[in-house]
Structure 1
Amino acid sequence: MRTEKDIFGSVQLPDETLYGIHTYRAIKNFPSSGEKINPYLIKAYLQVKLAATETNYKVGILEQHKYKLIVEAIERLIDETSDAIEGKSLLIYDKIIVDPLQGGAGTSLNMNINEVIANTAIALGGKNYGEYDFIHPIDDVNLSQSTNDTYPTALKIASIVLLRELTEAFANLQTELQKKENEFSSIIKLARTQLQDAVPITLGQEFGAFAQAIARDRWRLYNGEERLRSVNLGGTAVGNSINANRDYVLHVNSELNKITGLPIAKAEDLIDATQNLDVFVEVHGLVKAGATSVIKICNDIRFLSSGPFGGIGEIVLPEMQAGSSIMPGKVNPVIPEHTIQIAELVKGHDVVITNLVGSGNLELNAFLPAISHLFLKSLSLLRDAIYNLSEKCIKGIKANRDRCRENLLNSSAVAAILINEFGYDKNSELVKEAYHKKISFISLLKEKNLINEQKLNEIISREIGVKIE
């Protein structure tokens, strides 16, 4: 066991632990939520630490032997975090152990990272964990920094990376919907407004509209990245760069830009960028807009596939698993159902993020940990759900051509496109008569010899742009 001290006293830590007393206090103070810090945030935070270390050394305020060991430690930890992102190993979570929901505006996470970097570097230097007179987690690793500029900067980096991945997920979904638009372009069916029979449409046109909605969301998200590129690194505690070397402040963001490969830039007003988090409300609002589009599409798909015999049944979804423990043969639309639930979570996150961003006080928002956790969680969950929807549902959708035609012919939808033939009032009378006789509108037209089938098909083809055989 080793002894570490802070202003509250001393604690005994196992010799092999990489974290220190500040992390120990955090895990004792905050009950576990059962969740972990997003690995994209850990990686981004380590990249911020690397940029700070490189800059501190270049401006002459960090000794060379410390610099080399800290850089090597950070690079090793970045590799471990990349493994977690890729699903290869969760070793980093033996080291970064604080809960994502924590008081203190994120200081617990910053100190967990500082202590792990310091002890990793100490070990690389041949010393024992906790020998902070060799390399100190605050005086060396956190040099020129504060939680209040490193955490928001790391969050924006992680957000950009995940936002790009989410945008690609939307692009993939758009592509799959457009494929179905082309595949179903000649299948005429019944359109519905307010869940009631409306006019003829093609199944391809319906999927084309889905694709257009997703295309708008894709473009919104792509443009949303720009709002995240301005960071407050170098502002330290409140944005006025207290305890930061002037040259460090001028150059640290350029170093971060090189390390991440992202177009990061220092905010024009570091004080504003430190205390105001409205950009996360703005960008998450775009994510929420995408979630609502996905919910609408998933509900439409469930509706169109309902049945298969007692419902609409105009499309057939891929069968993924047994749907009931009591009804043999039942298969449910589980992929759209899953996607809807994820999208609803995103909408819920939006409410919390909005409320917490508005709850900041004066020079700092103490609720950044929850904002961060939910923001990144929305991006990750929605990304995975949309890829899942594309691959396990949309790609395998089949059209029930006969059912589409049957539903159309049994409805009064054709009446709307015959107004120029018979007038609105005459059509209304015919629709009512067909309803009372319990026959289709088209059957009534044939019964009364009002129009032959060839001419009817010509009119439908002209109106909806699809040739009817």
Structure 2
Amino acid sequence: MSIRFEADSVGTREVPDEAYYGVQSMRAEENFTITGIGMNPVFLKNLALIKKAAAITNCLAGDLDQICAKAIIKASNEVAAGKFAKEFIVDAVQGGAGTSANMNMNEVIANRANEILGGEKGAYDHVHPNDHVNMSQSTNDVVPTAGKMTVIDLMQPLLDELARLESELYAKSIEFDDVIKMGRTQLQDAVPMRLGQTFHAYAVMVGRDKKRLAHTIKEMYAVNLGGTAIGSSINASQVYLDTVVPCLARISGMPLTQADDLFDATENLDGFVAVSGALKTCAVNLSKMCNDLRLLSSGPKTGLAEIALPAKQNGSSIMPGKVNPVIPEVVTQVAFLVIGHDTTITMAAEAGQLELNAFEPVLFYNLFESITTLKGAVKTLIDNCIVGIVANRERSRDLLEQSVGIITALNPYIGYKKAAEIAKQAIKQNKSVREIVLAKKLLSAKELDQILDPYALTGSHSVPSMLSIHPTFQEVSKHS
């Protein structure tokens, strides 16, 4: 392998001659073999767009000549299109607040720009990584800006999937509106409800998560680009300061604005914590729903079995015919991951000191993964589970009729104490509530039909009042 020699402030070392990265990237690769995972490709795209916007703005300001600017712009476009993906050799988790990521980008663009202008890689005689590609910038403003842009990019597919999930859950709520089942609290029989109401509640929950995430993403629009090292905009011209963010907004298509206080935007990462918190809340809700789906489909012969999930794969290497709820299981596992990531993100934001937070790399690594894995989980939940759920109508009705939970509806008519006695008797004698009430002549069959009407008990219409059933109560009412 042919080599070239490059020097930095640490010393001189060999670099593969064909490499577009340089000496600083190589040192970072040696220092940060941490996760084995490179930087997020969407993050790299956005970092390249920032370099393009900076070159355009510096040229407009008269600080960068047109020939150099055009070469940087062309190289940045190529990088943004993913042409040199293998040249980004720095680990996603790295020390130095992202300096290695920034310099990896600066070196690749500089070497490609030199090549465009007829120069050799590593010479930097036409375009220099620091002097030209990084002109008017600092790691401390380009990396946070690229991070926010990446969150914006990654979030939209998640929001789209959540909208699709919300729609499918509403569809199931309509499909299952006629399925009467027993509602449960603390895993014990409670009162009747419709299966459609269960899925409607899930849909409302997902819609709330979608709105919460869409709201928090707005915090990503304000960026600190132009603040350079700590927010004072040192080494940046007034033209650059005023123009670079509008330029970046235009070429990226994102509604970016420059933060009102660049010092605040450089040192504080609470916006990312807010996004992570919303992701965690969404993950918790999705996992709770998936826990419900596993319970409702448990069995299929010895559990609740009120619904059947689509069979997606064999459930055991030893038990023939066993099918497991693998899709809800994987969603819950993703929820665990997102919740753990939120803790890391929280601690990374808290660990910032004075004018800079050095822990953005691990924050971004976790936040990007939270968004992408949650999106994948929601997608498989829709396609491989929700759309294929089937209601076991007869099973649901049988369980309802065997339960004493309907006794709650009799409280207003026979009192709590009497109702409790009947419930205990029904369980002990394995009889229905209706049988015992009729045997004791507490209410007539007609009255029970009205009071215990399944749809009335689920809130589909109002439960008959005592005045409409008992003439005695009507007479009392006249004199009251």
Measured against the shorter chain, the TM-score band is over 0.9
Aligned equivalents of 2:253, 2:434: Cα separation in 1: 63
Aligned with 2:159 (options 156, 167, 177): 167
Segment of structure 1 superposing worse, 57-66 or 158-167: 158-167
- Change in Cα spacing, 1:184 to 1:14, as seen in structure 2 (3 Å) is same
Query: Which residue of 1 is the match for residue 277 of structure 2?
Result: 285
Aligned equivalents of 2:158, 2:217: Cα separation in 1: 11
Query: Which amino acid in the other structure matches residue 297 of structure 1?
Result: M
Aligned equivalents of 1:176, 1:441: Cα separation in 2: 37
Query: Which residue of 1 is the match for residue 223 of structure 2?
Result: 231
**Aligned partner of residue 189 in structure 1, secondary structure:** strand
Matched, 1:181 2:173: yes
Give 1:90-239 correspondences, 5 Å limit. 92-239=84-231
Query: Which residue of 2 is the match for residue 419 of structure 1?
Result: 411
Aligned with 2:436 (options 444, 454, 457): 444
Query: Which amino acid in the other structure matches residue 153 of structure 2?
Result: V
Cα RMSD of the aligned pairs, angstroms, is 1.6
Query: Which residue of 2 is the match for residue 398 of structure 1?
Result: 390
**Aligned partner of residue 6 in structure 2, secondary structure:** strand
Query: Which amino acid in the other structure matches residue 10 of structure 1?
Result: T
Give 1:16-27 correspondences, 5 Å limit. 16-27=18-29
Aligned equivalents of 1:457, 1:398: Cα separation in 2: 29
Aligned with 2:287 (options 285, 292, 295): 295
Query: Which amino acid in the other structure matches residue 235 of structure 2?
Result: N
Per the TM alignment, residue 441 of structure 1 is displaced from its structure 2 partner at its CA by 2.7
Matched, 1:34 2:28: no
Per the TM alignment, residue 450 of structure 1 is displaced from its structure 2 partner at its CA by 5.2
Identity %: 45
Per the TM alignment, residue 45 of structure 1 is displaced from its structure 2 partner at its CA by 0.9
Structure 1 gaps, min length 5: 81-90
Query: Which residue of 1 is the match for residue 465 of structure 2?
Result: none
- Change in Cα spacing, 1:56 to 1:457, as seen in structure 2 (3 Å) is farther
Query: Which amino acid in the other structure matches residue 250 of structure 2?
Result: K
TM-score (norm 2): 0.92
Query: Which amino acid in the other structure matches residue 49 of structure 2?
Result: Q
Q: Is the 8 A contact 1:186 1:466 kept in 2?
A: no
Query: Which residue of 2 is the match for residue 68 of structure 1?
Result: 70
Matched, 1:310 2:312: no
Q: Is the 8 A contact 1:180 1:204 kept in 2?
A: yes
Query: Which amino acid in the other structure matches residue 9 of structure 2?
Result: I
Aligned with 1:48 (options 35, 50, 54): 50
Per the TM alignment, residue 451 of structure 1 is displaced from its structure 2 partner at its CA by 5.3
**Aligned partner of residue 31 in structure 1, secondary structure:** coil
Per the TM alignment, residue 119 of structure 1 is displaced from its structure 2 partner at its CA by 1.2
Aligned equivalents of 1:392, 1:2: Cα separation in 2: 53
The one-character-per-residue Cα deviations of 1:379-406 (angstroms, maximum 9, x if unpaired) are 1111111111111111110000011101
Segment of structure 1 superposing worse, 450-459 or 152-161: 450-459
Query: Which amino acid in the other structure matches residue 39 of structure 2?
Result: I
**Aligned partner of residue 22 in structure 1, secondary structure:** helix
Aligned equivalents of 1:282, 1:464: Cα separation in 2: 38
Query: Which amino acid in the other structure matches residue 182 of structure 2?
Result: L
Segment of structure 1 superposing worse, 365-374 or 417-426: 417-426
Aligned equivalents of 2:443, 2:396: Cα separation in 1: 22
Query: Which residue of 1 is the match for residue 80 of structure 2?
Result: 78
Aligned equivalents of 2:162, 2:72: Cα separation in 1: 39
Per the TM alignment, residue 39 of structure 1 is displaced from its structure 2 partner at its CA by 1.5
Q: Is the 8 A contact 2:96 2:358 kept in 1?
A: yes
- Change in Cα spacing, 1:111 to 1:457, as seen in structure 2 (3 Å) is farther
- Change in Cα spacing, 1:443 to 1:312, as seen in structure 2 (3 Å) is farther
Flag the structure with larger Rg.
Answer: 2
The one-character-per-residue Cα deviations of 1:69-92 (angstroms, maximum 9, x if unpaired) are 111111111112xxxxxxxxxx64
Query: Which residue of 1 is the match for residue 399 of structure 2?
Result: 407
Query: Which residue of 2 is the match for residue 343 of structure 1?
Result: 335
Structure 1 segments (4+ residues) deviating >3 Å: 442-458
Per the TM alignment, residue 466 of structure 1 is displaced from its structure 2 partner at its CA by 4.8
Q: Is the 8 A contact 2:79 2:85 kept in 1?
A: no
Per the TM alignment, residue 449 of structure 1 is displaced from its structure 2 partner at its CA by 6.0
Aligned with 1:464 (options 445, 458, 465): 458
Per the TM alignment, residue 279 of structure 1 is displaced from its structure 2 partner at its CA by 1.2
Query: Which residue of 2 is the match for residue 57 of structure 1?
Result: 59
- Change in Cα spacing, 1:453 to 1:404, as seen in structure 2 (3 Å) is farther
**Aligned partner of residue 132 in structure 1, secondary structure:** coil
Query: Which amino acid in the other structure matches residue 58 of structure 1?
Result: L
Aligned equivalents of 1:452, 1:78: Cα separation in 2: 77
Per the TM alignment, residue 435 of structure 1 is displaced from its structure 2 partner at its CA by 1.1
Matched, 1:385 2:384: no
The one-character-per-residue Cα deviations of 1:383-440 (angstroms, maximum 9, x if unpaired) are 1111111111111100000111011111011101122232221111110111111233
Aligned equivalents of 2:167, 2:266: Cα separation in 1: 39
Query: Which amino acid in the other structure matches residue 424 of structure 1?
Result: Y
Query: Which amino acid in the other structure matches residue 65 of structure 2?
Result: E
- Change in Cα spacing, 1:456 to 1:97, as seen in structure 2 (3 Å) is farther
Q: Is the 8 A contact 1:276 1:364 kept in 2?
A: yes
**Aligned partner of residue 4 in structure 1, secondary structure:** strand
Q: Is the 8 A contact 1:409 1:442 kept in 2?
A: no
The one-character-per-residue Cα deviations of 1:128-186 (angstroms, maximum 9, x if unpaired) are 21120111111110010000000000101111122222222211111111010000011
Structure 2 gaps, min length 5: 462-480
Aligned equivalents of 2:84, 2:165: Cα separation in 1: 32
Aligned with 2:15 (options 7, 13, 16): 13
Segment of structure 1 superposing worse, 148-157 or 10-19: 10-19
**Aligned partner of residue 81 in structure 2, secondary structure:** helix
The one-character-per-residue Cα deviations of 1:172-219 (angstroms, maximum 9, x if unpaired) are 111111010000011100000001000000000011111111111111
Query: Which residue of 1 is the match for residue 325 of structure 2?
Result: 333
Aligned equivalents of 2:84, 2:280: Cα separation in 1: 31
Query: Which amino acid in the other structure matches residue 325 of structure 2?
Result: P
**Aligned partner of residue 94 in structure 2, secondary structure:** coil
Per the TM alignment, residue 93 of structure 1 is displaced from its structure 2 partner at its CA by 3.4
Tell me the matched-pair count. Answer: 458
Aligned equivalents of 2:244, 2:94: Cα separation in 1: 28
Query: Which residue of 2 is the match for residue 84 of structure 1?
Result: none
